[in-house]
């Protein structure tokens, strides 16, 4: 029986987005504050996911062994480093979150040999920005999170208050209630071999701000967002609508929308994959 274990580590490092073939103004235009000298830093959180059969001792591998490999090959060289100068991979390609995750995968792979198999490297630059890499050549995933506050009421217009209460409980109360929503948008694409980016991060964040946060923040969804005038704004319906709103804008900036997760509260969240939305919207033959 196969099982996946996840090992968490952390390191602190600085980096700078700067291409010598560009002028000062071109670098600032392209990378914004990330181009400022001498650079900036992050407290990175790393999750290494390893799959294998469960052995006779009830483990995929000895966790002490996994910890030692990750510490020796990744944490020790990267912790308190200036990433641009640390590994030769970062001289050719900028140390963006997605590229760092990609390099860590390839650095660890020779030391975690079959029957062990790395299935994912997840690297958090901040709590609102992280990348996943799964060994698919240059393809990686980048997730950007944002927040909005909104109120809603769960009720079907053709039902009585009592009938709605039987379906939705307290969420059907006539004056509604509110949440501080967190939306996590994951895109996928090819990591550029020079910039290390799969998408312009500012453009991605602007798309989320323009098409989700601005129209949804501080609204009563049922009345202020036309889509929900005849669609009950459950977490499931909201996340589907967000996915539909973001697909074209993210295509326009050169990435592919992979999935959207909406966290309504610490106890309730919903997630949809863009490919599934596409399939369900296709006309039946």
Would you please indicate which residues are annotated as catalytic (active-site) residues?
A: 171, 218, 264
- The Cβ-side half-sphere exposure at 158, using a 13 Å CA radius, reads 2
Tell me which long-range contacts 155-164 makes (C-beta under 8 A, separation of at least 24).
155/232, 156/232, 157/230
Distance CA 57, CA 273 (A): 37
Tokens 């599934």 locate to 276
CA angle in degrees (0–180, nearest 5) for 116-86-43: 75
Are 120 and 50 within 8 A, CB to CB? no
Are 162 and 150 within 8 A, CB to CB? no
Distance CA 37, CA 31 (A): 12
Strand spans (E) along the chain: 2-15, 40-53, 81-82, 117-126, 129-133, 139-152, 177-190, 219-220, 256-265, 268-273
Distance CA 233, CA 31 (A): 37
Runs of H (alpha helix) within 158-273: 161-168, 201-208, 214-216, 221-224, 235-252
Helix (H, G, I), strand (E, B) or coil at 178: strand
């Amino acid at each position: 029986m196969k099982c996946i274990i996840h090992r968490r580590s952390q390191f602190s490092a600085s980096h700078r987005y700067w291409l010598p073939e560009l002028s000062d103004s071109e670098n600032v235009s392209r990378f914004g504050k990330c181009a400022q000298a001498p650079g900036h830093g992050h407290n990175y959180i790393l999750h290494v996911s390893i799959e294998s059969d469960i052995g006779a001792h009830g483990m995929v591998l000895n966790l002490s062994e996994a910890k030692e490999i990750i510490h020796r090959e990744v944490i020790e060289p990267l912790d308190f480093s200036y990433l641009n100068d640390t590994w030769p991979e970062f001289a050719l390609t900028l140390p963006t979150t997605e590229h760092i995750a990609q390099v860590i995968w390839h650095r660890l792979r020779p030391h975690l040999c079959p029957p062990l198999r790395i299935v994912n490297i997840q690297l958090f630059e901040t709590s609102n920005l992280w990348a996943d890499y799964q060994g698919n050549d240059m393809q990686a995933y980048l997730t950007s999170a944002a927040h909005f506050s909104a109120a809603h009421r769960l009720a079907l217009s053709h039902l009585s208050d009592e009938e709605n209460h039987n379906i939705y409980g307290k969420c059907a109360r006539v004056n509604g209630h509110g949440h501080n929503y967190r939306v996590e948008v994951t895109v996928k694409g090819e990591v550029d071999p020079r910039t290390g980016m799969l998408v312009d991060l500012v453009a991605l964040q602007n798309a989320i701000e323009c098409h989700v946060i601005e129209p949804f923040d501080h609204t009563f969804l049922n009345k202020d967002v036309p889509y929900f005038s005849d669609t009950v704004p459950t977490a499931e319906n909201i996340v589907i609508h967000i996915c539909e709103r973001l697909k074209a804008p993210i295509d326009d900036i050169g990435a592919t929308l992979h999935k959207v997760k909406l966290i309504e509260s610490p106890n309730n969240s919903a997630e949809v994959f863009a490919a599934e939305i596409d399939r369900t919207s296709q006309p039946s033959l």
